[in-house]
A = this chain, B = another copy of it.
């Protein structure tokens, strides 16, 4: 009991396969009464085109790969960045009838898998959610002559269109807020330095401290809550008198708040805290977190548009989305 073919539809409608194909593909060179007959046959038979056959001849697949290159299970599952970006990209792509193949590229083995798959012509394009600098994927894929776009600026200089948020400017705004509210000893919990977001947000912090003649106090985390808690303890050891901390993402800020609480510090009275990303959880910390809104969904949507432009020859200049300071109670 196999699915009806175009042949069957054509036979039922009393036309040739070519004509049936014309109707299916919406060509206008078909007389109305014939078109109706074909459509009726399609309906009656429950015909659905075989995509393998179609893409065999058209050389298109109408699907794109979304490659997520994040080794850490915890980060992937816990950081709303990924789910938000994936969901937004999905919605955008479904709107233009493209399928999304989701792939993980965490180990060298899976890298090979991804490369093989992509070069197998299964997809018309690739969207890369790759955060790590050492990641060989951006350059590998750009060599494959497949349209590739990136969510976030690739850490290695490679000619791939990308969309990023203004990490440096956002960090500057956050730290400037601390300076302007009279904080003197402003520490930071930086993100991983093999990620652009980690590097740029630290750069922003340094820029403002330099200009405002303050000493930088740095601990490094890996964007997880736990690393934020550990880094905060370390900072309190390094400089017990610190009165503010700029944390490179909200997840780490959550951990930092816990460490501050355990150390008996009041927030914001003793120590002001500014996060980054404005995830939903930031509204529910004690106290609610002052942070920088990172437009993750918009970023993903813009990435999809960039990929489309790559297909259709539109502009593919990098896009940098602005961030916005959201002042709550922690600073």
Contacts and interface: CB of A to CB of B under 8 A. Distances in A.
Contact of A90 (B90, B100, B104): B104
Interface centre among A91, A279, A284 (most CB of B within 10 A): A284
Interface in A15-46: 46
Nearest to A254: B284
B48 A120 contact: yes
B258 A50 contact: no
A101 interface: yes
A102 interface: yes
A117 to B, nearest CB: 7
B281 A255 contact: no
A215 interface: no
Contacts of A90: 102-104
Interface string A85-107: 01100110010010111111000
Given A87-B104, A122-B99, A258-B286, A281 B51 contact: no
B286 A261 contact: yes
Contact of A63 (B3, B80, B83, B101): B101
Contacts of A56: 50, 52-53, 56
Interface in A272-330: 279-281, 283-284, 286
Contact of A280 (B49, B52, B101, B225): B225
B100 A101 contact: yes
Contacts of A254: 281, 284
A181 interface: no
Which secondary structure characterizes the binding site on chain A?
A: helix
Contact of A51 (B76, B82, B122): B122
A216 interface: no
A117 B48 CA distance: 9
A142 interface: no
A139 interface: no
B76 A83 contact: yes
Interface in A233-290: 254-255, 257-258, 261, 279-281, 283-284, 286
B51 A120 contact: yes
A100 B102 contact: yes
A283 B104 CA distance: 27
A194 interface: no
Nearest to A110: B94
Nearest to A109: B94
A55 interface: yes
Nearest to A281: B281
Given A50-B120, A52-B121, A63-B101, 6 more contacts: A52-B52, A52-B53, A52-B56, A77-B84, A83-B83, A258-B284
Interface of A: 3, 46, 48-53, 55-56, 61, 63, 66, 73-74, 76-78, 80, 82-84, 86-87, 90-91, 94, 97, 99-104, 110, 113, 116-117, 119-122, 225, 229, 254-255, 257-258, 261, 279-281, 283-284, 286
